[in-house]
Amino acid sequence: MISSLVLSLREGLEAALIIGIVLGILRNLDRRDLSFLVWAGAISALIISFMVAFVLNLISTEFEGAGEQVFEGITMLLAAGILTWMIFWMRTYSISMREELELGVPQATSKRRQWALFLLAFLAVLREGIELALFLLAVRLTSSPVQTVLGASLGIGGAILLGWILFATTRRVSLTHFFQYTNALLIVFAAGLVGIGIHEFNEAGWVPAIIEHIWDVSFIIPEESTFGQLLRALVGYSSSPSLSQVIAYVGYWVILGLSLWSNRRPHQLTLSHK
């Protein structure tokens, strides 16, 4: 539940930031009459996102045996890749996000370009919605559907509430620390998904195990236990991993660490109201 909550909160808040900034700019321009285009785009994207989530979950139930393991492995690795890309994207785009919107939104208020407001909100929410649909599918494969739905509901509800608080009751808010902390959690989730994905490929015979079980701590923390299941959902815990699974897990951390180090830069995401 924790992983689906954090993912939903993070994705929902990113969409809320963009929608809130656009609505704030329209308010400053005294063009609140165009707000309906923003809401129409956001709601349309939400509907499509729900449809994508439904279809993905429907597809996942159609596989059995090795096909199911391959599908789950691909889903895990794809989700891990998008999570990682999202972290790097936010590190760079958060610096100029507000400035770009402040330049683009006024131009979109002209009669010939008002459709751009709809498209801006639509694409912002659709991107986050489809990403979240994929992430929640990967999470559901490591935890119960009830926990996944409950965590996602709380996360989305929290994102809506936090988004409203940010843009309705404050004048200057720094979100840098929030995204730093959630980035750290997302990295942990992504690494776990990589490990689980390789495990599924081991089971399907797509990736050799090299060594079937390099250790076995099931007598300490069984995977079937409540704590074991929680660790599996959060960090991809396996009580008896294969060597290829460990190599992939450690390799992810090494590659990510080198990438973050080579792309390090100071960044500050601050939202302010005039």
- Kindly tell me if the per-residue pLDDT of 209 is higher than 70: yes
For residues 250 and 60, the model is more confident at 250
- Res 221: pLDDT: 92
CA–CA distance from 14 to each of 28, 87, 182 (Å)? 21, 12, 12
Residue pLDDT, tens place only, 144-197: 778 888 888 898 998 888 877 777 764 555 566 667 777 888 888 899 999 999
Whether residue 38 contacts residue 125, with contact meaning beta carbons closer than 8 Å, is answered with no
Q: How many domains are contained in the chain?
A: 1
Per-residue pLDDT reduced to its tens digit, 29-41: 888 888 999 999 9
Give tens-digit pLDDT for 101-152: 777 888 888 777 788 889 989 988 998 899 899 888 888 887 777 888 888 8
What's the pLDDT band for 95 if we cut at 50, 70, 90? low
263 to 42, 87, 92, 258: CA distances (angstroms): 32, 12, 10, 9
Q: State which residues form the domain around 209.
A: 2-272
The CA-atom distances, in angstroms, between 39 and each of 51, 90, 217 are 18, 23, 51
